[in-house]
């Protein structure tokens, strides 16, 4: 099967974007995995699919598959690339579009400076909504937020880490670190991602606070591994820092792939807004094997 694709990136988080507005490609989990493979396929952190409006008041459906082929609820950096793609391809002339994801409706908006702002919706902090199994745990209260003790297995550098849990349409566990450069992302990231207390697995964030308006962040993403940037991870890290009383309502987030701006009022009823770049890298056509393991 030959398909056309567009390779895009947002702050170094890279994507293969597929247009299914004229018909479904019907790809299997293995074929999504093939596309994401950096040796045999195109190479990407996630595969983003553009589908037609599923309902009145919605412009498009946005489907996300991780590099392991599994479908996930949300991808913030991908949402910016999604908006840039449909605009550049002439699929929509709107500056703001309403997009249905598995995690809810989002509204990316193209800004005059070429960046894209995304209304990421309201964060969720109740453990059951993340979801996070807090049975038997006693949280550490700080500000208006909480940090939960998470016991790790013997492979970890430490026996227990304190994490703030949040959902931005997908689950996140954020821990504070002194320096992201020396944080044990590769050692503890996989242990947190697949921890039994997160029934849908989790994105593990490592947050260094520089000052109240500036942080540094690394994220070990569920089903992908560490990426150069994670949009929902940046949102989860900032809202967690605000609730813990450590950050202002607007924060510059430096990831290894670039800078994102995250804004949140601190009110549980208000949306989180993320602004950052979205760039087309190249376009092409690839032959995907019909049968893959």
CB atoms near residue 38 (< 10 Å): 11
The residues pairing with 283 across neighbouring beta strands, listed in sequence order, are: 6
Q: Which candidate in 230, 237, 238, 247 is catalytic?
A: 230
Burial grade of 260 (CB within 10 A; 0-12, 13-18, 19 or more): buried
Q: Are 241 and 213 in contact (CB under 8 A)?
A: no
Please give the DSSP secondary-structure letter assigned to residue 129. Answer: G
Which residues have C-beta within 8 Å of that of residue 258, sequence separation ≥ 6?
A: 10, 11, 12, 228, 229, 276, 277
The single residue of 50, 72, 75, 219 carrying the catalytic annotation is 75
Torsion on CA atoms 85, 86, 90, 95, rounded to nearest 10: -110
- In 3D space, the residue among 86, 160, 119, 48 whose CA is nearest the CA of residue 271 turns out to be 119
Residues 97/107, Cβ–Cβ less than 8 Å: yes
Residue 230 a catalytic site member: yes
Per-residue exposure over 201-223, b if at least 16 CB sit within 10 Å of its own CB, e if not? bbbbbbbbbeeeeebbbbbbbbb
Kindly state the DSSP code that residue 117 receives in the 8-state scheme. Answer: E
Q: Are strands 99-101 and 60-66 parallel, antiparallel or unpaired?
A: parallel
Please list the active-site residues: 75, 230
């Amino acid at each position: 099967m030959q398909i056309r694709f567009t390779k895009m990136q947002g702050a170094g988080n890279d994507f293969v974007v597929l247009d299914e507005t004229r018909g479904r490609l019907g790809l299997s989990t293995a074929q999504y995995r093939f596309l994401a493979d950096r040796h045999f396929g195109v190479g990407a952190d996630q595969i983003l699919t553009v589908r037609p409006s599923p309902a009145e008041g919605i412009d498009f459906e946005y489907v996300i598959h991780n590099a392991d082929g599994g479908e996930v609820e949300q991808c913030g950096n991908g949402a910016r690339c999604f908006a840039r793609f449909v605009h550049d391809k002439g699929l929509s002339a709107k500056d703001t579009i309403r997009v249905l994801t598995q995690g809810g409706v989002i509204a990316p908006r193209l800004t005059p400076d070429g960046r894209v702002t995304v209304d990421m919706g309201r964060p969720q902090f109740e453990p059951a909504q993340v979801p996070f199994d807090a049975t038997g745990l006693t949280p550490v209260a700080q500000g208006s937020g909480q940090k939960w003790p998470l016991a790790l297995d013997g492979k970890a550098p430490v026996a227990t880490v304190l994490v703030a849990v949040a959902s931005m349409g997908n689950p996140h566990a954020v821990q504070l670190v002194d320096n992201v450069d020396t944080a044990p992302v590769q050692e503890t990231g996989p242990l947190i991602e697949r921890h039994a207390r997160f029934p849908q697995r989790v994105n593990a964030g490592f947050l260094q606070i520089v000052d109240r308006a500036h942080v540094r962040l690394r994220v070990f993403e569920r089903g992908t591994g560490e990426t150069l940037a994670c949009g929902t991870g940046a949102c989860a890290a900032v809202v967690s820092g605000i609730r813990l009383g450590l950050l202002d309502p607007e924060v510059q987030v430096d990831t290894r792939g670039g800078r994102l701006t995250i804004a949140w009022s601190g009110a549980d009823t208000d949306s989180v807004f993320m602004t950052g770049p979205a760039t087309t890298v190249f376009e092409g056509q690839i032959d995907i094997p019909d049968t893959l393991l």
